[in-house]
Structure 1
Amino acid sequence: MSGTEPDDAPTLPQRERRRGPIITTIVVAAAVVVAVIATLVLVNRPSGSDAAAGGSSEPARTVTIGIADISQPYWKTFATLAKQQLNVSVKYVNFTDYSQPNPALKQKQLDLNEFQHLQYLANYNVTNGDDLQPIGATAIYPLPLYSTKYDDASALPAKAKVAIPNDAVNEARGLLVLQSAGLLTLKDGGTAFSTTKDIETAKVDVQPIDASQTATALKNGSVAAAIVNKNYAVDAGLPKDQVIAKDDPASAGAEPYVNAFVARKADAKDPVLLKLAALYHDASITDEVQKENGGDAVFQTWSPEKLQGILATVEADAKSAQQ
């Protein structure tokens, strides 16, 4: 049921008028039928409070979602729309440590989480023998290469020092960005788990350092350019006009870096969870996401099947990298 009723009660089919007692009988019978129908409509009409609950035919439900950015205003909008459109009460659990949301989901402390891209999820699944599954894409955030001295990657001089994050999640992606900018080549074209050991040729001197220090190294002049994650770039006040290269969200190489809603495998086809993941792409939410991210989000509406196919490929790369 949609939660609204037709403006007029159902009417009986028109019948041919006849004279005499038959007319009286038909009129009385019709009146009885109409009265019965009217009674049924009144009994089944939703109350004002039910209609105001959003008009959803879904049964009421509470869904707990693990996130890492509770301060972002779009999560409040998301919860409001979930209640209005799906009759779902969303409860958030905020994490400051990225290592916690996946185990919490596995242990059924959460129904979903949304904080990670597929490369991170693949690394978690392979390392922990788990099978968490993506059920809805959100967005890809391009990873930028910044420079305060040069306005294009091709302008970097030979042997110029370039900083990249040294953690397993971001090192490979940073190397792929440098490769797409023509600054180095990786063995077999590289994967989401490449390391500096896979560099075959390089125009620049790659310096892996802690991700939190890449912006500092750039600003103090100890490197000519640096891969800087968005949160650290914002904290350091790095302007967009200092971005000299970034990965292409439309390329196959960027697919492992799409962020996603993730569920336990047993719940991957739950229709309510799937609808919640799709709700993220409501314009009122995506507009707020873009506002908070300076227009850098590249939204993707890939199907759960495509996401799970990408995950399987990245997991295979992760297993190979561990051998």
Structure 2
Amino acid sequence: MSNAPALPDKPKRRGLLIGIVAAVVVIAVVVVALVLGNRDDSTSTTAGGESSGETVRIGVADQSLPYWRTYTDLAKSQLGVTVELVNFSDYTLPNPALSQGELDLNQFQHIQYLANYNVEADDDIQPVGATAVYPLPLYSLTADSAEALPADAQVAIPNDAINQARALLVLQQGGLLTLKDGGTAFSTTNDIETSKVQVTAVAADQTASALQSGSVAAAVVNNNYATAAGLPEDDIIVADDPTAAAAAPYVNIFAARAEDKDDETYAKLVDLFHDPAVQEVFLQDNPSAVVQDVPAADLQASLAEVEEDAKAAAGQ
């Protein structure tokens, strides 16, 4: 070998260049892998060190309301949970969807409704947290009071068993009818003894449209349908009292399958509903709601009592 320095010949120069490029590529791949690995690590834990990546599907009836956006954003940032909302316009669908595993939770119903469903469907869905009690209002676009409704005016009420009974009690409160023995949480139109108006039971999601089309003079409209239809509170002529003791069975709930009633993630999602940021927007969306924070065990005990009443009413 010569001691004099010599320039590498052309093939060696090309080989050196290829080697350098290959080394750069390897380094780049390693760097990218490390960056991606670090990014994955940063999204797999929250600030509190909790695991992320879990997705929870919740069935609701008011997905368009802004508080759900606040709620789902906080679920991701605080709990590392992706909440997927599944909207239903028909009250008869979310419980079967939950029971069949299409949902993880639902949040659309009160205890009275769930008790009736469990008894009729021989199911065992359980409440895992409370949200609020909403008044059930009678709206009219033409009368400014129940007394101002003309005789034999058409009034629409929900046709599902539980909302129908509560609606009949609202009409009785407004002096528009009387119910047998004063009425119960399981009254039907067959229990009407005297009536100033003509009561028509329709699907709950059709009550607002019946009112707005002019086909009825007044309608009992559930909160989410009234909000979706843009019915103003000024058009309410009668409403029950959500703070009264009689309203306890009407507290709205998060519900889960019985085997999931002690799930820790679901408990955290219930707690998140009561976060001040969520509540601020929720009460803007639902100014007449009375927020409830009741332990799951108490809700489950209340459900069991109402289920016994439902069985007795059904002659079981």
Alignment map for 1:273-288 (pairs within 5 Å): 273-288=266-281
User: Is 2:274 the partner of 1:306?
Assistant: no
In the other structure, the counterpart of 2:117 is: 124
Deviations 1:23-58 (A, max 9, x none): xxxxxxxxxxxxxxxxxxxxxxxx996699443244
Q: Of 232, 235, 238, which aligns to 2:231?
A: 238
2 CA distance for matches of 1:218 and 1:71?
Answer: 22
Q: Of 312, 318, 322, which aligns to 2:310?
A: 318
Task: Calculate the TM-score normalised by the size of structure 2.
Answer: 0.74
Residue type matched to 2:183 in 1?
Answer: G
Deviations 1:270-323 (A, max 9, x none): 233212101101121122223334x23321112212322332232223223333
Deviations 1:174-221 (A, max 9, x none): 101112223333334433321011223444443334445544554565
Q: Of 73, 78, 85, which aligns to 2:78?
A: 85
Alignment map for 1:35-50 (pairs within 5 Å): none
The 1:308/1:180 distance shift into structure 2, 3 A limit, reads farther
2 CA distance for matches of 1:110 and 1:222?
Answer: 36
Q: Of 54, 61, 64, which aligns to 2:56?
A: 64
In the other structure, the counterpart of 1:140 is: 133
In the other structure, the counterpart of 2:259 is: 266
User: Is 2:144 the partner of 1:113?
Assistant: no
In the other structure, the counterpart of 1:180 is: 173
Q: Secondary structure at the match of 2:143?
A: coil
The 1:229/1:88 distance shift into structure 2, 3 A limit, reads closer
What's the % identity of the aligned pairs?
Answer: 56
Q: CA deviation at 1:133?
A: 0.5
2 CA distance for matches of 1:92 and 1:165?
Answer: 25
Residue type matched to 2:174 in 1?
Answer: A
Task: Calculate the TM-score normalised by the size of structure 1.
Answer: 0.72
1 CA distance for matches of 2:173 and 2:111?
Answer: 20
Deviations 1:123-159 (A, max 9, x none): 2211221111101111222221122333222444555
The 1:192/1:73 distance shift into structure 2, 3 A limit, reads same
2 CA distance for matches of 1:194 and 1:183?
Answer: 15
Q: Secondary structure at the match of 1:130?
A: coil
Q: CA RMSD in A?
A: 3.1
In the other structure, the counterpart of 1:297 is: 289
CA contact (8 A) 2:129 2:254 kept: yes
Alignment map for 1:169-208 (pairs within 5 Å): 169-208=162-201
CA contact (8 A) 1:153 1:245 kept: yes
Residue type matched to 1:62 in 2?
Answer: E
Alignment map for 1:215-234 (pairs within 5 Å): 215-219=208-212, 223-234=216-227
Q: CA deviation at 1:81?
A: 2.0
2 CA distance for matches of 1:219 and 1:77?
Answer: 31
Question: Please, which runs of 5 or more residues in structure 1 have no aligned partner?
Answer: 1-46
2 CA distance for matches of 1:252 and 1:307?
Answer: 15
